[in-house]
Amino acid sequence: ALLNPEAFGRSRRGSSDGKRGWRPELGRRLQELRERYGDLSNLGLLMGYVSHMHRHGGRRKSQLAHATLGTQLTRFGSDLLQVAGSQRIAEWDVADFETNYGAVLCCKSDEARRQAFDALMDFHGYLINVHQMPEISEAALRKIAGSRIVAPRPGMATRLEVEQVFDALQADIASEEVRPDALPEAIRLLRLRKLMFTLLGASGIRPSSAYGLTLGDVLLSGPGRDFVRVRSTGDYGQAKSKASLGYVALDGPLWARARREVLPWVDQEKSQVGKDRWWNLPLFASAAGARRRFSRSLLTGRIDRLLKWAVGDPRAGTYWLRKNSVTARHERVCSTFQTCSVPP
């Protein structure tokens, strides 16, 4: 949970689950774990490695994102602990390291093996520099790891399939509202789930970026002039790269259908919290004016399952909505270019 930004935010004290102040607090919690288990225990070595990256950064950046810290460790951490078992990593010799690292790599799929190797070698560099552990030969391990494999993962949902999912989400709301014991929190969650689906389908932004939107990031100025702003600043903003930052248009058939419901809902949220407070409040707050959000799994888990059902493919998921939007934009650009290229 420490290295999952969303779970970490929910575990923090205070009224907000945002990311403000996460870096010093994560450092304190990692230090507590190291003190509890010991620096030379297997878990202590892994936590020390994360603390080292947290403090000094990686090969390319002086400060690593919270999610990057988690990704770097999870590429090999759990497999290494399982391979080590009751053995102490700190007591391994050169042959032990090479044998057990090879076993870790064999646990990985062909696509993940090279990334696991790179992370393992970075981890071993930490062990050498900080704990004076022996250097090893990378040649045999590099041969096991092979080269990086970039496998295409096509995924598309048709307009009819997207509308089927939208209708199912609307039916969830209707069935909950007629229940005599319906909870306002449950109805709000269902409405926000449909809003999440709508924004993802209409903008093509990543689910993590959509989850980090605030009320001020949704700009509804009229048909053809509706946008969301993706940013990495503020208490909630999330963007995978600089190329993702900026204003993204809301358009397409799904947005045309849902806009008339989204607009009054956003206006209602703003009116309930006052003119000076709504701008930086999370869009997917658990209550109007709250600074804590519903978990992302509650918002997208049902969408994932519905897309698998509608598309008939177990690989389908929320991210396919981004692929839909990106493909549609590419087709529009190509169409415009071809039209402009036709001589009069």
Res 295: pLDDT? 92
Q: Letter for the amino acid at 143?
A: K
Mean pLDDT of 309-320: 89
Q: Is 87 left (phi over 0), alpha (psi -120 to 50) or beta?
A: beta
DSSP 134: P
Mean pLDDT of 96-110: 93
Decide if pLDDT at 331 tops 70: no
Confidence category of residue 264, pLDDT binned at 50, 70, 90? very high
Longest CA span, the chain: 78
Confidence category of residue 91, pLDDT binned at 50, 70, 90? very high
Decide if pLDDT at 114 tops 80: yes
Which alpha helices (DSSP H) does 132-278 contain, by range? 139-145, 159-177, 184-203, 207-211, 253-273
CA distance 209 to 300: 13
Tens digits of per-residue pLDDT, 210-246?
Answer: 999 999 999 999 888 999 999 988 888 888 888 889 9
Res 96: pLDDT? 95
**Tokens of residue 214, six digits:** 């605030």
0.75 cut: is pTM over it?
A: yes
- Alpha carbon separation from 294 to 10, 109, 145, 237, 297 (Å, rounded): 9, 33, 39, 16, 8
Element (H, E) at 129: helix 110-131
**Tokens of residue 231, six digits:** 């940013």
**Residue in this structure with the two tokens 């309930």, named with its chain if needed:** 272
CA distance 167 to 257: 11
SS3 call for 3: coil
CA distance 330 to 156: 14
- Alpha carbon separation from 121 to 41, 126, 201, 230, 271 (Å, rounded): 19, 9, 40, 35, 54
- For residue 334, the Cα-to-chain-centroid distance in whole angstroms is 30
- Alpha carbon separation from 298 to 67, 163, 190, 305 (Å, rounded): 19, 20, 9, 12
- Alpha carbon separation from 281 to 1, 8, 104, 290 (Å, rounded): 24, 19, 44, 7
Q: What is the 3-state secondary structure (H, E, C) of 155-175?
A: CCCCHHHHHHHHHHHHHHHHH
Q: Letter for the amino acid at 49?
A: Y
Res 76: pLDDT? 93
Confidence category of residue 161, pLDDT binned at 50, 70, 90? very high
